[in-house]
Structure 1
Amino acid sequence: MAEPSTDTVGIKSHYATQISADLERNAQGQEEISAQLNSLKDQLSTLQQDRALLVTMQRSLAGQVGTPAVTVNGTAAPAANGAAPAESAATAPSPAQKAAKRRRGQAAKLPLREVLSTILAEHEGPRSAAEVAAVLSQNHPERNASIPVVRNTLEGMVAKGQATRKRQQKSVFYSTAEVS
């Protein structure tokens, strides 16, 4: 009878070791999946914010006469006001448009970092990378900088002390660095 108890102790010990190892693997797996889930949630949040910004931009463009609104599936839709595309008006450009044109000519010569610094300085308050990219594409159409490129450049500016980063919930906003 002593022999079965020794076997029982050996089996229990083996199972206890196996269960401990399984629990450790389970905990590691949960940590990995939790980290992936958090990363995916951040990516989803960023995509939702980018979509909201793009929808806002689409609506504002749809309000302009002659500009087709782009739908979600990528097809062109008529302007929101139902107006037909208008012929280009022969109006003189405003001083602001002239200044923007001059800046565009200079922007091609300036590094992206300097252009983004100027954009941040021109606008009060912090701006998201998507907002900065939208202003960049509007003011400097010759620059084909995507949102990730703008975000990386802004992060480089933060690292060099040329800009500041502010996090609000899951969003990140950038502004010019405070000069002291």
Structure 2
Amino acid sequence: MSEGTATATELTSQYISQVAGDLERNIKEQERITAELTALQHQLANLQQDHTVLVSMQQALGVPPTAPEPASAGSTSVPSPRKKTTPAPGTRRPAKTAAAQQPRAKKQPGTKPAAEKAAAKSTRPTLVDLIHRHLTEQSEPRSAAEVAEGLGHAHPDRNIATNVVRTTLESLVAKSLVQRTKQGRSVFYTTADAPEPTASTGKAQPETAD
């Protein structure tokens, strides 16, 4: 075997070893980043669940939402830096026309102005209003579970939990807007202006008092 052939074989062996090492490091880096992404997605899911519960509690207390809506994944992007071009010596920049000098407002498709979003939120009834209105429309006392079920059917777009409804009902009882009655170990609620429930009323499913 000539010297040139031996040198080529040695270089090929070095390239094969280098490519194999780079490929192994690439695979390990992918595994590391995949593990980090999985952990971050799990943390994001927990935060979104906590956000939903906190917003429901805020609505139950009759407080209008003040915190901004969380940005959805992939909605934020970092703009690429714009390159500043320098005109060649001896050349003059063309003067801007009047139409070009006027700022143009860009409106992204599918997005609503912040004012429209705020107006939509302000017109949305609170959970307190929904619960009080629901009890007013009932002819018999209702438990917290029944109120939550009725509101869930009437407003499927809202995540209304039974424990949040129970907390809201107790706050209305404290304000003398709702009456609270017990039948055995079951608790039922009616509006303050409704007639006193009798022992036969309350066909709802029994709810154990806390």
Smaller-chain TM-score bracket: 0.3 to 0.5
Which structure would you say has the larger Rg? 2
Q: Which has the higher contact order (CA 8 A, sep 6+)?
A: 2
Greater share of residues in strand? 1
**TM-score by structure 1 length?**
0.39
**TM-score by structure 2 length?**
0.34
